[in-house]
Amino acid sequence: MRRVIAPCSTVLTGAPLAGPGVRSGPRLRPGAATGAAHLRTRVWGMSLLLLLIAGPVVGQDGLGAPPDHASNRDNGPGWDCEIGYRERDGLCRPIGLPENAFPTGRRTGSGWQCGYGYREVDRTSCRAVPIPEHAFLGSSGFDWICERGYRATRDACVAIEVPAFGYLSDDGLGPGWRCARGYVAQGDGCDPIVIPEHAYASNREFGPAWLCDRGFIASDDACAPIILPARAFLDDASSLTGWRCERGFAAVDGACAAIDVPDHAHLDRSGNRWRCDPGFRLTGNGICALSH
């Protein structure tokens, strides 16, 4: 007698086959239904996986052969469209590159960018950057910069008028010129600075137009000599007096008095004051007491 093999679905369920000459499958013993259900689930899952692998490619994550203008990924399954193309309906189609533009390869946005010296217009085209007379294209390629000796207005470069005793500057703001040493800007010109005896022009844009020589201090519109007290030295940083006391001395009423350092204290970094040692604190009577 010829033996017939039952289909998988019949064997898994354990149901008997009808018809002559066909042997029924083995009956499932009690408690075996759960195992059969798990086995059916695994068979169905494997069948679905085989269908997905063999099925048609539907996008850039497909596992099949890449379409035209695409290549397989180096770091995983799937494929990507070449630069200048984008996936649509499972194919790589051109992005529609306007004139004077180049593809960026990005998946978002227009996928293209205008070349050097061109600007994007309405996200559809690239227009050359208009460069006025006495200007040149900036390094970004999207704007222009005036030549030296000219300054930008809305859409042109106008010549900078440098007054007498002035010179061109590279400042982005301001008139574009500065006054020479010994002159100060007044309106559109440079006026000479009236410098008192024992002084020199500072050439500062802000603050005094002149400064006193070393050893002198400004007093009204003149420079008066600095009178040094005993145990003092000239100090340009001391704008009020022009001098400073030596280490261990402090300025008192125009003189330098010796500093009386109390117990458990020391001179600070300046050398003209004292502070309590670590672990001690200053009290109201001017001594250093242990900290609690």
Please tell me which residue, 286 or 226, carries the higher pLDDT value.
Answer: 226
DSSP 38: H
| 99 has a pLDDT exceeding 50 | yes
* Rounded distance between C-alpha atoms, residue 249 and residue 260, angstroms: 9
DSSP 172: S
- Residue 10: what pLDDT? 37
What does each C-alpha distance from 102 to 109, 115, 160, 291 come to in angstroms?
13, 6, 39, 74
| 273 has a pLDDT exceeding 50 | yes
| 41 has a pLDDT exceeding 60 | no
Residue from 60, 64, 54, 123 nearest 88 by CA: 60
The confidence band for 250, taking pLDDT boundaries of 50, 70 and 90, is very high
Domain ranges in the chain are 76-128
| Mean pLDDT computed over every residue of the chain | 80
- Residue 42: what pLDDT? 55
- Residue 26: what pLDDT? 46
- Residue 261: what pLDDT? 95
Mode of pairing for the β-strands spanning 189-192 and 183-186: antiparallel
Give mean pLDDT, residues 58-71.
Answer: 71
Least-confidence region, from 63-67, 179-183, 214-218? 63-67
Determine if the pTM surpasses 0.85: no
- Residue 87: what pLDDT? 87
Contact 267, 274 (CB under 8 A): yes
pLDDT digits (tens, 9 = 90+) for 13-34: 344 434 444 444 444 444 444 4
- Residue 238: what pLDDT? 77
pLDDT digits (tens, 9 = 90+) for 152-208: 998 999 999 999 999 999 876 788 999 998 898 889 999 998 999 999 988 777 778
The confidence band for 275, taking pLDDT boundaries of 50, 70 and 90, is very high
**What Rg value do the Cα atoms of the chain yield, rounded?**
45
The confidence band for 63, taking pLDDT boundaries of 50, 70 and 90, is low
User: What region does 51 belong to: left with phi over 0, alpha with psi -120 to 50, or beta?
Assistant: alpha
| 283 has a pLDDT exceeding 80 | yes
- Residue 65: what pLDDT? 86
Please tell me which residue, 207 or 44, carries the higher pLDDT value.
Answer: 207
Alpha helices in the chain (DSSP H): 8-13, 33-54
| 231 has a pLDDT exceeding 70 | yes
Place of tokens 């970004």: 140
* Rounded distance between C-alpha atoms, residue 172 and residue 162, angstroms: 15
Residue from 46, 4, 7 nearest 21 by CA: 4
Place of tokens 């399954």: 77
